[in-house]
Amino acid sequence: MAERTKILIIDDDKDIADLVKLVLETANFEVEAASCPESAYDKARDYRPDAILLDLRMPKVDGWTIFKQIRDDNTFDAVPIAILTAKSKQVDQMVGLHIMNADAYITKPFGKRELIDKTYELIGKRKKP
């Protein structure tokens, strides 16, 4: 039996994290959620995901700080990161995709099909270790 693709959701809103987890599990992904931004990086190191969906607006530690921690750790060189956020302005997307070099940008609210499709796209951007 093939191993399922592991997705880590980092979002302080437990309802959103649970919804994303439920939707992605219906598409046969293995999913874990980190709802505490302060420990999200440690969760990523322990879980070893194939891809990460990361919220930007979180208390105490914002998503860009976590993004930078993950990107600065060569353990995650092959792991694509999608920004999962309510920040839907074009300038926000440009910063995320072209300045910070996120692999995808998903805006809330999102539909089930969009989330699944974007996650498969994200997996396709996975770099070989």
The verdict on residue 88 lying in a domain is: yes
The verdict on residue 26 lying in a domain is: yes
**CA 1/CA 56 separation, integer angstroms:** 35
**CA 30/CA 8 separation, integer angstroms:** 9
The verdict on residue 63 lying in a domain is: yes
Counting the structural domains of the chain, the total is 1
The verdict on residue 1 lying in a domain is: no
82 by Cβ neighbours in 10 Å (0-12 / 13-18 / 19+) ranks as buried
Residue 95 gets the label, from left (phi > 0), alpha (psi -120 to 50) or beta, of: alpha
The verdict on residue 37 lying in a domain is: yes
In the predicted structure, residue 118 carries a pLDDT above the cut 70 = yes
What per-residue confidence (pLDDT) applies to 60? 86
**CA 69/CA 93 separation, integer angstroms:** 20
- CATH of residue 20: 3.40.50.2300
What per-residue confidence (pLDDT) applies to 1? 47
What per-residue confidence (pLDDT) applies to 87? 87
Classify strands 81-85 and 104-107 as parallel, antiparallel or unpaired: parallel
The verdict on residue 47 lying in a domain is: yes
Question: What would the pLDDT profile of 91-114 be if each residue is shown by its tens digit?
Answer: 989 998 988 899 999 999 999 999
The verdict on residue 75 lying in a domain is: yes
Structure tokens at 53: 């969906």
Structural domain that includes position 16: 6-124
